[in-house]
Amino acid sequence: MIVLRAIDAFNTAIGKAVSFLIWAGIVVLVWEVVARYVFGAPTLWAHGYTQRIFGAYFVLVGAYTLIRGDHVRVDLLLVNRGPRGRAMLDFINFGFLVLWGAVLSWEAFWFFEDAWRFNERDDSALRHPMWPIKLAMFAGVALITLQGVAEAIRSMILIVNPRADVGRPEMNKGVV
Amino acid sequence: APPAIAQGNTVWRMQTHWPTGNWYYDEVFVRFCNRITEATGGELTVEPHAPESIVPTGEVLNAVRRGLLESAFIYPAYWIGRVPAAGHLNGHIGAWDRHEEMDIFYYEMGGIEPIREAYAEQGVHQVGPISYSGLTLWANRPLRTAADLQGWPVRSTGAAGLVLARMGASPVSIPGGELYQALQTGVVDGAHWGSTATAWGMNFQEVCDFIIEPDLLGHLNGEVMVGTQAWNAVGEDIRAVVTEITRATSAEAAAHFLYRDIQFKQRFVEEFGGELVRLDDDALAQLRTASMAVVDEFSAQDPQYSGRLGEMLHDFMRQLGRS
Amino acid sequence: MTPEVLTIGMFGVLLSAILLGVSLTFALGGTAVIFGLAVFGPNGMFTIVSTMFGAMWSILLSAIPLFVFIGVALARSRIANDLYQAFYLWSGRTPGGLLLGTSGFAATLSAMTGSCAASTVTTGLVGMPAMDQRGYDRRFVLGTIGASGTLGILIPPSITLILIGMQTGQSVGRLFMGGLVAGLFLLATFLIYIAVRARLSPHLAPPADVRAPLRERIHALRSVVLPLVVILSVLVSIFAGIATPTEAAAVGAAAVILSVALRGEMSWAYIKAVSHDTASMTGMVIWIVFGASAFVAVYGGGGGTRFMQGLLLGMEVEPWMVIVLMQLITLVLGMFLDPIGIILLVLPIFFPIVTALGYDPIWFCILFQLNLCIGYISPPFGYNLFYLKSLSPDTPITEIYRAILPFLALMLATGAAIFLFPGIITSFTDVPVRR
Ligand code: NA
Ligand code: NA
């Protein structure tokens, strides 16, 4: 249980920190508009860094979204279900995530490794390294998979003992 | 290696970046695949695959390297971040005016060698270029002199963007999906998107007043690539067929695209009230100088391959009296 | 695996998973992995990671978090509430006034963004709390937001219309004009429906009890100024050629923050809350895009796309029936795929047939585009239905279906009207487009 709570805490902290990237994205894009329209001097980097900032943001908020129970589900079967039935459905849900996430993590690692090994740069005039964004991708998919494993374990415990305290405080605010 | 051909039918999936529904998708790309299949009597079957159908365009080189995709009919500029020499395969502003000049650089002067070595390092065999026509510059102001380019906001990227920046223009990056509107509302005052014929598919003719002549780059190249493993797995005779058909297709495609460009430029003037404007000789000379300076930048960053190619290109320009 | 088996298998597993309550994104991604392994083996998994990276790297998706940010930032400040209070006071004794305003707000957002996710989620974030507070019926509210949000891709700017132009060689200018006409037509039917229904059942959308004095109403107008500045900053940036739609979304986000600061509502707690909520809402939308990209890549790579195209080309029926069938297929695909996927899948097949039959190409494209919008809200699986679910997690999905049905009927009727009377579109688009 301590390990599960630690995973929650870790992913929540990462998610909250990453959530501030949106401000960087706003600043970069607004700066580009000002530089181009007011000073007539568009930057070579704004476009490329918008891609990098938002790309990292998209993938790294995945686990946090999961913790907040915001990956939307249809509740046709979820409502009016007892705790054990509910736990079984949750287990299937997280099973799909772990399956997808495990494959993504494995492939994303080699995807990153390739960019690192060949010192890949983007194909725009910017020509900055690609490995950081691909590393962010690996981190994002690995973290959501880790969270998925933690939730799957909790669901398993609940299938066995629906009254167990699995320390899942936020997941139950509303139907996930 | 053991002669894999004895096993009979090999299949190469070949992915392109050309959008389906364009005339050249069928007339050039699919026809190219079918020609190989027919010439080898089906011993090698080349399956044409639409853009993004197996992997996203930007990841094709990586997929071919890893053997997840056997081959591609695609555009070298996508890889300049991994293989800077691919910029030379694509073509540099002010370098080649037409297909034969590219052929001289590539086959007569031996430009193909360093390019193939650079690709081989990626686990990919570079079969050969596929000729397009030129790189057409579209504008909403009549550019005639080098001074007209000062501060000109133009949608550009890659090496062309660096050259235009050296000319004093302001290259802006805008994703393809927002480009039409950016030209319409004036976020940028110009753009390039391949030849006149390819930009036509982007509907630039509706939102631009001018085409600037001559083309920024008179001739540019696509390419055919095959994973080293897949390439080595077929016999020499098959490799020869693929290489020859690539070269023949390249010559044909050059004429195809050039002819279409001529027709589209005519339509631009007659149906869309557009105007063809010419850059003066001084501006062209300055563009060439700026372009070679960018080439030298690439040479400095990648001496092993781009450096050799850069020297060859300087030699080529001298021989043609352009430097 | 034959394409028939692949088609039945993939869609079957996807539907079953969704019905079992698997999150839409995990259902899409997990199904892609299962069938990717079956069709390509482990090598095929590269497709799944590389298409996901393609989505991450697409700058056009940046507009989504930016609009979500605008929605969250307005909703978390007092601006959204004050705006609705002003609507409320000025709509006086008219029932449904806030819903009319909400629908108009969604249409205005649609003129700023090319995405239904952005206009739906942002409208919901801003409008729902204020309407809850004033006793509006949740179902009526959800239906209005879900349906009005589909205008996002119909009213220009619209990435889908630009893509349709590229795929068909039609003038984007004319397509934009047609989209605008169809969008305004649709908006008008929504407004009429809301007004009539609210008049018939005022308890669903209660008006203010007493008419507020003019002084109070004038006073309330002051709170409209800042939201208006936000909206104008985005619209002016786009239409004066100052910024692309993505950049304009950032300008709008900056304008919201400036407004909040000017009202003295800025605090560290506010900044944290806005950032966290935006991240989670964005995660919901974007991870669905990730899942869909994997699903489509495996289905296409396994030959599913070509199979479906073959089926379509094999149809042999009356010309008008062909058009109807095409619309039905688009509707059904709209249940599973995003509009861009549908355009790439079927338009190259449909379009030559349509022109060969002699139909007006722009008219057909607009009808097709309208159907993409309808796909967003057609049960059981439309993206907007899922966005509504996440905006209102306590509402069962069946309630959301019921909420959307009248609006779905209106949209289908609008489609039928455009089908039967092409002049609605062609009289506006049969004009020379170049200046
Ligand atoms: Na729009
Ligand atoms: Na649907």
Give distance in angstroms: CA of C377 to centre of ligand 1: 17
Residues from chain C contacting residue A91 (CB–CB below 8 Å): none
- For A63-115, give the DSSP string: HHHHHTT-S----TTTTT--HHHHHHHHHHHHHHHHHHHHHHHHHHHHHHHHH
Ligand nearest to the CA of C383: 2
d(CA B85, CA B118): 7
Query: Among partner residues C46, C241, C244, which is closest to B68 by beta-carbon distance?
Result: C46
For A117, the token pair is 């090994």
| Chain C (370-429) residues lying within 8 Å, Cβ to Cβ, of chain B | none
Mean per-residue pLDDT for B31-50? 95
Ligand nearest to the CA of C106: 1
User: pLDDT digits over C63-94, tens only?
Assistant: 889 988 998 998 888 888 888 888 888 877 78
List Cα–Cα distances, B18 to B27, B54, B194, C165, in angstroms: 12, 14, 11, 16
* B191 strand-pairing partners: B138, B155
For C87, the token pair is 């609507």
Give the residue among B231, B226, B223 at the shortest CA–CA distance from B249: B223
Neighbours of ion ligand 2 (CB under 5 A): C 334-335, 375, 378, 382
Residues from chain A contacting residue C20 (CB–CB below 8 Å): 77, 89, 92-93
For B8, the token pair is 């009979």
Q: C241 φ, ψ to 5°?
A: 75, 20
In a mutagenesis test of the C interface, which of A96, A128, A144 is the best target, namely the one with the most C β-carbons within 10 Å? A96
In a mutagenesis test of the C interface, which of B47, B55, B57, B64 is the best target, namely the one with the most C β-carbons within 10 Å? B55
Mean per-residue pLDDT for C356-371? 90
pLDDT recorded at residue C434 = 52
Q: Among all chains, which residue has been given the structure tokens 């000319």?
A: B167
SS (H, E, C) chain C: CCHHHHHHHHHHHHHHHHHCCCCHHHHHHHHHHHHHHHHHCHHHHHHHHHHHHHHHHCHHHHHHHHHHHHHHHHHHCCHHHHHHHHHHHHHCCCCCHHHHHHHHHHHHHHCCCCCHHHHHHHHHHHHHHHHHHCCCCHHHHHHHHHHHHCHHHHCCCCHHHHHHHHHHCCCHHHHHHHHHHHHHHHHHHHHHHHHHHHHHCHHHCCCCCCCCCHHHHHHHHHHHHHHHHHHHHHHHHHHCCCCCHHHHHHHHHHHHHHHHHHCCCCCHHHHHHHHHHHHHHHHHHHHHHHHHHHHHHHHHHCCHHHHHHHHHHCCCCCHHHHHHHHHHHHHHHCCCCCHHHHHHHHHHHHHHHHHHCCCCHHHHHHHHHHHHHHHHHCCCCCHHHHHHHHHCCCCCHHHHHHHHHHHHHHHHHHHHHHHHCCHHHHHHHCCCCCC
Q: Among all chains, which residue has been given the structure tokens 């010559």?
A: B251
For C239, the token pair is 């239409």
Confidence of residue B4 (pLDDT cuts 50, 70, 90): very low
Kind plus residue range of the DSSP H or E element containing B13: strand B10-16
Q: Would the pLDDT of A176 be above 70?
A: no
d(CA C267, CA C225): 22
C298 close contact with B: CB closer than 8 A:
no
Q: Among all chains, which residue has been given the structure tokens 């489509």?
A: C296
Beta-strand pair B10-16/B135-139: unpaired
Give the residue among B71, A73, B273 at the shortest CA–CA distance from C397: A73
DSSP state of B156: -
Percentage above 90 pLDDT, chain B: 76
* Vertex C45 angle, CA C42 and C47, to 5°: 140
Give the residue among B183, B205, B186, B177 at the shortest CA–CA distance from B261: B205
Minimal Cα–Cα distance from A89 to chain C, Å? 6
Mean per-residue pLDDT for C354-373? 89
| DSSP H helical ranges for chain B | 23-24, 31-39, 60-65, 86-90, 99-103, 112-120, 158-166, 176-185, 196-201, 204-207, 228-232, 236-270, 281-301, 308-319
Percentage above 70 pLDDT, chain B: 98
Residues from chain B contacting residue C165 (CB–CB below 8 Å): 180, 203
Q: Which domain holds residue C374?
A: 3-429
* C239 within domain boundaries: yes
Q: How many domains does chain C have?
A: 1
Minimal Cα–Cα distance from A170 to chain C, Å? 13
Give the residue among B29, B35, B28, B36 at the shortest CA–CA distance from B50: B29
Mean pLDDT of chain C: 87
* B135 strand-pairing partners: B217
Q: Would the pLDDT of C37 be above 60?
A: yes
* Other chains touching C, judged by 3 or more CB pairs under 8 Å: A, B
pLDDT recorded at residue C431 = 67
User: pLDDT digits over C220-276, tens only?
Assistant: 888 778 888 888 888 888 888 898 888 988 999 999 999 999 989 999 999 999 999
List Cα–Cα distances, C70 to B174, C236, C298, in angstroms: 23, 17, 35
Minimal Cα–Cα distance from B178 to chain C, Å? 7
Mean pLDDT of chain B: 92
Confidence of residue C388 (pLDDT cuts 50, 70, 90): very high
pLDDT recorded at residue A169 = 59
d(CA C215, CA A113): 67
Give distance in angstroms: CA of C369 to centre of ligand 1: 12
Mean per-residue pLDDT for C401-414? 95
Ligand nearest to the CA of C235: 1
CB contact under 8 A, A22 and C59: no
DSSP state of B95: T
One-letter amino acid identity for C421? F
If you measure CA to CA, which chain C residue comes closest to B208?
A: C434
Confidence of residue C289 (pLDDT cuts 50, 70, 90): confident
* Other chains touching A, judged by 3 or more CB pairs under 8 Å: B, C
C268 close contact with B: CB closer than 8 A:
no
Confidence of residue B198 (pLDDT cuts 50, 70, 90): confident
CB contact under 8 A, B186 and C241: yes
Mean per-residue pLDDT for C311-340? 78
* C76 within domain boundaries: yes
Give distance in angstroms: CA of C179 to centre of ligand 1: 9
d(CA C275, CA B122): 42
Look at B310-319, C330-339, C361-370 and tell me which has the smallest mean pLDDT. Answer: C330-339
d(CA C283, CA C290): 10
Percentage above 90 pLDDT, chain C: 39
C2 close contact with B: CB closer than 8 A:
no
Mean per-residue pLDDT for C429-433? 67
d(CA C245, CA C252): 10
* C435 within domain boundaries: no
**Which residue ranges make up each domain of chain A?**
2-172
If you measure CA to CA, which chain A residue comes closest to C287?
A: A62
User: pLDDT digits over A97-113, tens only?
Assistant: 999 999 999 999 999 99
Mean pLDDT of chain A: 90
* C168 within domain boundaries: yes
User: pLDDT digits over C110-148, tens only?
Assistant: 887 778 888 899 999 989 998 998 899 999 999 999 999
d(CA C254, CA C260): 10
For chain C, the residue count is 435
pLDDT recorded at residue C347 = 83
pLDDT recorded at residue C34 = 97
Q: Is the peptide bond preceding residue C157 cis, with omega within 30 degrees of 0? A: yes
Q: Would the pLDDT of B20 be above 80?
A: no
pLDDT recorded at residue C237 = 87
* B15 strand-pairing partners: B49, B72
Contact C31, C14 (CB under 8 A): yes
Minimal Cα–Cα distance from B85 to chain A, Å? 12
pTM reported for the whole predicted model: 0.88
CB contact under 8 A, B175 and C163: no
List Cα–Cα distances, A8 to A157, B305, C286, in angstroms: 17, 50, 21
CB contact under 8 A, B81 and A130: yes
CB contact under 8 A, B67 and C348: no
Q: Would the pLDDT of B313 be above 70?
A: yes
Confidence of residue C432 (pLDDT cuts 50, 70, 90): low
C250 close contact with B: CB closer than 8 A:
no
Beta-strand pair B10-16/B190-192: unpaired
Q: Would the pLDDT of C182 be above 60?
A: yes
CB contact under 8 A, A93 and C57: no
Confidence of residue C433 (pLDDT cuts 50, 70, 90): low
B172 close contact with C: CB closer than 8 A:
no
Neighbours of ion ligand 1 (CB under 5 A): C 110, 114, 155, 158
- String of b and e for B141-163 (b: at least 16 CB within 10 Å)? eebeebebbeebbbbbbbbbbbb
